[in-house]
Amino acid sequence: MTNLAIEASALTRTFGAFTAVDHISFDVTAGEVFGFLGANGAGKTTAIRMLIGLLHPSSGSARVAGYDVVRQTEQVKRSIGYMSQRFSLYEDLTPRENIRLYGGIYGLTRQQIRERTARMLDRLGFSGVGDTPVSSLPLGWRQKLAFSVALVHQPRIVFLDEPTSGVDPITRRQFWELIYEAASNGTTVLVTTHYMDEAEYCDRVSIMVAGRIAAMGTPAALKGGAGVESIDELFVRLARPGGAGEASGASGASEGSRTRGAGLVGPADGEQQ
Amino acid sequence: MNEVVGVESLVKRFGPTVALDGVSFEVGPGELFGVVGPDGGGKTTLFRILVSLLVPDSGRGTVLGLDVVRDFRTLRQRVGYMAGRFSLYPDLSVEENLTFFASVFGTTVAREYEQIRPIYSQLEPFKDRRAAALSGGMKQKLALCCALVHRPDILLLDEPTTGVDAVSRREFWDLLGSMKRGGLTTVVSTPYMDEATRCDRIALMHRGKLLGVDTPAGISAGFGRPLVAVHASDRYKALLALRAYEHAHSVYPFGEVMHYTDGRLDMPGDRIASDVEAFLNGRGFRDVAAAPLTPTVEDTFIARTASIPEPRTPNPGKNA
Amino acid sequence: MTSLRGLLRKEFFHIRRDKRTAAVLIALPVVQVMLFGYAIRTDVDHVRLAVVDPAPDADTISLRNRFTGSGVFRTIAVVPRIADLDPLFQSGAAQQAIVFDGRFGEDLHRGVSPKLLVITDATEPNTGSLLQSYAQAVVNQWAATGAGGLSGAGGASGGAKSISIVPQVRTRFNPTRESKNLFVPGLMAFVLTIISSLMTAISLTREKETGTMEALLVSPLRPWEIIVGKVTPYLVIGFVSVVAVLVEALLLFRVPLRGNVLLLLFEGALYILVSLSLGILISARTSSQRVAMMFALLGTMLPNILLSGFIFPLESMPTALQVVSYAVPGRWFVTIARGIMLKGIGLEYVWRETLFLAAMAAVLLAASVRSFKERLE
């Protein structure tokens, strides 16, 4: 019985002549917080779409929650939660109505919906606004609510696509605490983000460049291996091998050891392409 | 009184929402001035007022000595503006876009070539490519070119690096730095706190108010209390435990560490650090390490906004 | 099953909360039924009748009175010769004419079938046949009731009741009464309107939606420059469309072109300008392409189908709608196009309509410049 929540093997997706995802392979253990990093257009969203069953791979395979993403798509969809980059909530409905809708879609009983609604609103501190339309809630609140709603049916794995774009620093951290909480309850979380500093919140990260995984491992191991002080700096190295001009970024890369080129591997997992 | 931009008590509402709530600041000649803050803070509204696309409900604004409401026609001829989203023509090529904007201002690309060469030289290999087919970083460089081509007396760039990859962001700021050396006053907005350190002075903006206007170092210096970076295994549990610590004032995750401030204002940083270490070790956490840390702009932003309560919804229960 | 129910409930919430869409969904069919219902009346009344009566006598006057008394016809002129009818028809003053040959009464009393020529302006096939049938009905009724009862007075022409009068009907301007001849000019107008107003409606709003409008505003460009910049290329393209559509009408549908082709092209260009101006006005006032498209289509398609005389004859409509049709540019162009192509008339007959179109263009353009927002709100 596998302990792997997600397994991808040479997963590939082409659109005509363009290869968006190029034979990526990686695993995510149950209960991990896995960061899926990369620049816009690097292939992250396409990869996620294949994993959640929205897109068929051109070649390769993947299993999510033990189900094959191509042949058992329905089971995959029922076992996961998903929060997309644009909101997954209906703006003119209230939080309560949104929870009831999604709860119903995933087959929860009325009793379950009632209980979980109360718990969710309480945990988020939303009890006073449970009946106001989502559109009148601040951005950060909507993000947190969308995350909770994605978890309403208590899936084993949840996929978050750029959940904290544009949100203020405090709310962003509150959001990540929600992620930690979910992980500590055993939920596997796969997050994509283009905020490299958020990579540090993850147990392990992979960095995609031009459709391939250029680096994968724990943040500490990746930084140590490249001799840099931040994942941001590491990303700059990977995206422009051979030096990205002046290293005058705010991250303060250390002089001395500079690792050239792609292909950095953390010691814990040897999977990279 | 030789400020290039002067803003005094600007207020702007959209229906029940207050986008700008009494904003005042100045920008001196040749400065690279950053307006830093997350989405919804009012940055775009502020910029639109400065370039005369919106009229404030109250307050005054002058750019290059011109009033942003009365003198808008003259103003529009002299500013270089980059709007929040990519606002060039996606179906025209790089060269066609640039030629169009040059012509609208009564000049030609050839005449202004020397001005824009540092940026345009990066785009020239792609000059026949349609703008829609450019990468995010390239699009922003093209937009910058088009804003510069008519030799404006000031640059107003609204979130030029948002959504662009980390490498292109750095390159963009390098370009801004080189233009500043040429003496051009530039006002830039960004949601990325780490970009604040690239500016001469910054204004922190949050929900329509300014939390501070100073050099980045000055802003950080205004943090007000010692800051300690704390590391421990099992981050989440350590976070919860530390929050329960009797002297804890604030505990925020910052990547692999936590940023901790203490309630005891008179205690120096290193003593706080050892206290925290002792506390966590006592709770059974491993790999505990704590050390004082210089606050960043982000730390200051968090400290200043932590005390602001979430706003009550403007129209509870009613959806216009 | 709960998921489906939940979904249905959500949809009802949406509809309930979006009152505007609900209003359109309910109100629009109501309005359409009303408009179509009134517009598609095919009865005709207040037919403008001209009379040629070289030798008026009791009988001709009696028949003429029967026409007027029927409530359907209205005598607008009585002239001595057929030739005098031409200007009446060409200007549209007369829709139908009855022509006595001077021996009407004589023939009647002698027991010979009198001849009555009925000339109908059949530029509209529907109206044409209706007018004919009406005229026929009036004449038959008059004959059946004893030729007005006058000639039967002394029984001198005792067999009058058994005499049937056969009107000779000749339709002018559309002798073969081919509907396409009437249809196609209207169709040209219809198609040209849709395209031109749609294009310009989208053009400005597209700039607003993509964000390029911000860049245009923060520049030395003035509103009128932006508007002229938008209208001119579409005017050129529109003109090419006019030529193409005209060629198609002539070659493919073999619609006659009896008038001046240059005049027709000029009127076509003018008409395009009006449609473009309407499109620009719409897009100057809206910020969303979808809304602009909706307004452009509603504002051009419906009126042009119903109220331009293109399909449904204007004369059949209630006065209120006829008045409204004055504001529909298509109405004027259809009149002009049919006139030039089918009647072969020149500017001297359509100068009023031309002036109207020109005035519309001017007003719409001026309104666009004025309502062009120089700021973002």
Whether the pLDDT of residue C177 is over 60: the answer is no
Q: How far is A224 from chain B (nearest CA, A)?
A: 13
Q: Does A162 touch chain B (CB under 8 A)?
A: no
Chain C residue at shortest CA distance from B102: C219
Q: Residue B215: pLDDT band by 50, 70, 90 thresholds?
A: very high
Q: Does A111 touch chain C (CB under 8 A)?
A: no
A51, part of any domain: yes
B29-80 per-position pLDDT tens digit: 999 999 999 988 999 999 999 999 999 999 999 999 999 999 999 999 999 9
Q: Rounded to 5 degrees, what are φ and ψ at B228?
A: -125, 135
Q: How far is B176 from chain C (nearest CA, A)?
A: 20
Residue whose C-alpha is closest to residue C254's, from C189, C341, C168, C169: C341
Q: Which residue has the tokens 């904290």?
A: A164
A166, part of any domain: yes
Q: How far is C13 from chain A (nearest CA, A)?
A: 7
Q: At what angle do helices C223-251 and C179-210 cross, to 10 degrees?
A: 150
Q: DSSP secondary-structure letter at B313? A: P
Calpha distance B291→B270 (Å, rounded): 6
Burial class (CB in 10 A: 0-12, 13-18, 19+), C6: buried
The DSSP bridge pattern shows strands C115-121 and C96-100 to be: antiparallel
Calpha distance B231→B258 (Å, rounded): 6
Q: Rounded to 5 degrees, what are φ and ψ at A27?
A: -125, 150
Cα A114 to Cα A121, A124, C194: the distances in Å are 11, 16, 53
Measured between beta carbons, which residues in chain A are less than 8 angstroms from residue B174?
Answer: 245-246, 248
A259, part of any domain: yes
Per-residue pLDDT of chain A (273 residues; tens, 9 = 90+): 468 999 999 999 999 888 999 999 999 999 999 999 887 777 888 999 899 988 999 999 999 999 999 999 989 988 999 988 766 788 888 998 888 888 888 888 889 989 999 988 888 888 888 888 888 887 788 888 899 889 999 999 999 988 888 788 998 899 999 999 999 999 999 999 878 888 889 999 999 888 899 999 999 999 998 888 888 888 888 877 654 333 333 333 332 223 323 333 333 333 333
Burial class (CB in 10 A: 0-12, 13-18, 19+), A224: middle
Question: Could you tell me the CATH number of the domain that includes residue A201?
Answer: 3.40.50.300
DSSP secondary structure string for all residues of A185-254: TT-EEEEEES-GGGGGGSSEEEEEETTEEEEEE-HHHHHHHHT-SSHHHHHHHHHSTT--S----TT-PP
pLDDT at residue C154, rounded to an integer? 38
Burial class (CB in 10 A: 0-12, 13-18, 19+), B1: exposed
What chains are in contact with A, requiring at least 3 Cβ pairs below 8 Å?
Answer: B, C
CB pairs under 8 A between B and C: 53
Q: Say if CB C122 and CB C128 are below 8 A apart.
A: yes
Residue, of C147 and B42, whose pLDDT is higher = B42
Of the candidates A97, A106, A107, the beta carbon closest to that of C13 is on A97
Of the candidates C215, C216, C376, the beta carbon closest to that of B48 is on C376
ipTM: 0.84
Q: Rounded to 5 degrees, what are φ and ψ at A265?
A: -130, 135
Q: Say if CB C274 and CB C357 are below 8 A apart.
A: yes
B227-294 folds as Alpha-Beta Plaits (3.30.70)
**Sequence-ordered list of residues with C-beta below 8 angstroms from that of B282, at least 6 positions apart, any chain:** none
Whether the pLDDT of residue C65 is over 50: the answer is yes
Residue whose C-alpha is closest to residue C349's, from C128, C106, C173: C173
B282-320 per-position pLDDT tens digit: 999 999 999 999 999 999 999 999 877 666 544 333 332
Mean pLDDT of the region B127-150? 91
**Sequence-ordered list of residues with C-beta below 8 angstroms from that of C205, at least 6 positions apart, any chain:** C283, C286, C287, C288, C289, C291, C292
C47-172 folds as abc type-2 transporter like fold (3.40.1710)
Residues B216-225: contacts with CB under 8 Å, at least 24 apart:
B216/B297, B219/B297, B219/B300, B220/B294, B220/B295, B220/B296, B220/B297, B220/B299, B220/B300, B222/B300, B223/B295, B223/B299, B223/B300, B223/B303, B224/B303, B225/B249, B225/B261, B225/B262, B225/B265
Q: How far is A135 from chain C (nearest CA, A)?
A: 12
Q: Does B83 touch chain C (CB under 8 A)?
A: yes
Calpha distance A194→A167 (Å, rounded): 13
**% chain C with pLDDT above 90:** 6
Cα A33 to Cα A87, A219, B251: the distances in Å are 21, 12, 21
The answer to whether A200 contacts B237, with C-beta atoms less than 8 Å apart, is no
Residue, of C93 and C174, whose pLDDT is higher = C93
The answer to whether C211 contacts B146, with C-beta atoms less than 8 Å apart, is no
Domain ranges of chain C: 47-172, 179-371
Q: How far is B302 from chain A (nearest CA, A)?
A: 6
Q: Say if CB B255 and CB A200 are below 8 A apart.
A: yes
The answer to whether C3 contacts A100, with C-beta atoms less than 8 Å apart, is no
The DSSP bridge pattern shows strands C96-100 and C47-52 to be: parallel
Calpha distance A13→A98 (Å, rounded): 33
Q: Which domain holds residue A164?
A: 4-265
Which regions of chain B carry the CATH code 3.30.70?
227-294
Taking the alpha carbons at both ends of chain B, their separation in whole angstroms is 45
Q: What's the pTM?
A: 0.79
Residue whose C-alpha is closest to residue A175's, from A206, A151, A208, A140: A140
Whether the pLDDT of residue B203 is over 90: the answer is yes
Q: Residue C147: pLDDT band by 50, 70, 90 thresholds?
A: low
pLDDT at residue B204, rounded to an integer? 96
**Sequence-ordered list of residues with C-beta below 8 angstroms from that of B122, at least 6 positions apart, any chain:** B138, B141
For CA atoms A156, A162, A167, A168, give the dihedral sign: positive
Q: Rounded to 5 degrees, what are φ and ψ at A104?
A: -60, -40
Domain B5-221, classified CATH 3.20.20.70, yes or no: no
Query: What is the b/e burial string over A134-143, where b = at least 16 CB atoms within 10 angstroms of the residue's CB?
Result: bbbbbbbbbb
CB pairs under 8 A between A and C: 29
Q: Say if CB A37 and CB A205 are below 8 A apart.
A: yes
Cα B51 to Cα A265, B23, B157, B217: the distances in Å are 49, 16, 10, 29
A270, part of any domain: no
A120, part of any domain: yes
